[in-house]
Amino acid sequence: MFTGIVTALGRIRAISGEAVKRFEIEGPYAPEGIELGASIAHAGACLTVVDKGPSSSGGWYAVEVSPETLRLTTLGEWTVGSAVNLERALKIGDELGGHLVTGHVDGVGEIGARREEGSWIVFTVTPPASLNRFIARKGSITIDGVSLTVNAVTPDSFEVMIIPHTASATTLGQLRTGARVNLEVDLMARYAARLSEFPEASA
């Protein structure tokens, strides 16, 4: 589990493989602090560490990504040098600064518009139609691994505001109109929608 609070920015330093991609990510995490088999969220997708080592910026580690994950997320669009939002797995007792996030991407959305409001950035995002019913005004949404509050919704889009710190500490500040982003809807909304399909269970 994660919270949607990005703790570091990594960069893709190497890519190999065809059907199954191996990505090496370089960043500030010290290799001795990462266990093989550990879960780390990458732009909202939970991946398993399979190798690691030291580097000039702190350390590097490797993950392997299945064809299914490449198909359902934006990870297949990564290139060497791409910046990636990173979050270590939640530990019992950690501060829950965002909302509960599983690291399972529900779909890929598109930035429909970007505008500036003072030092804040407002994004209009078009999600897959299948996710619309899970997105509510003042509810939570995860975009590329970042926990955000939905400010407004329409039948086919939603709006979020990005504070200056989030814009500078994550990849969201670099997003432009047309960019594709990984989306994870609120876990509680997903279960509430599922329960509503069984009215007899709530009787």
Name, in order, each residue with C-beta under 8 angstroms of 82's C-beta and a sequence gap of 6 or more: 11, 12
How far apart are the C-alpha atoms of 53 and 39, rounded to whole Å?
Answer: 16
Does 83 reside within a domain? yes
Does 137 reside within a domain? yes
What pLDDT does residue 142 have?
Answer: 97
What pLDDT does residue 56 have?
Answer: 80
> Do 35 and 45 form a contact (C-beta atoms < 8 A)?
no
Pair 114, 189 in one domain: yes
For residue 57, the enclosing domain spans 8-88
Pair 81, 112 in one domain: no
What's the pTM? 0.91
Pair 137, 78 in one domain: no
Does 102 reside within a domain? no
How far apart are the C-alpha atoms of 9 and 27, rounded to whole Å?
Answer: 7
Does 100 reside within a domain? no
The tally of domains found in the chain comes to: 2
DSSP, res 197: T
Does 94 reside within a domain? no
Name which of 193, 9, 165 is nearest 97 in CA terms.
Answer: 165
What pLDDT does residue 145 have?
Answer: 97
Pair 15, 75 in one domain: yes
Phi and psi (nearest 5°) for 59? 180, 175
Q: Integer distance in angstroms from the first to the last C-alpha of the chain?
A: 31
Residue 125, domain CATH: 2.40.30.20
- Over the chain (203 residues), the average pLDDT of each successive run of 10 is 92 95 94 94 97 89 96 96 95 76 95 96 97 93 97 96 96 98 90 74 49
Phi and psi (nearest 5°) for 195? -65, -35
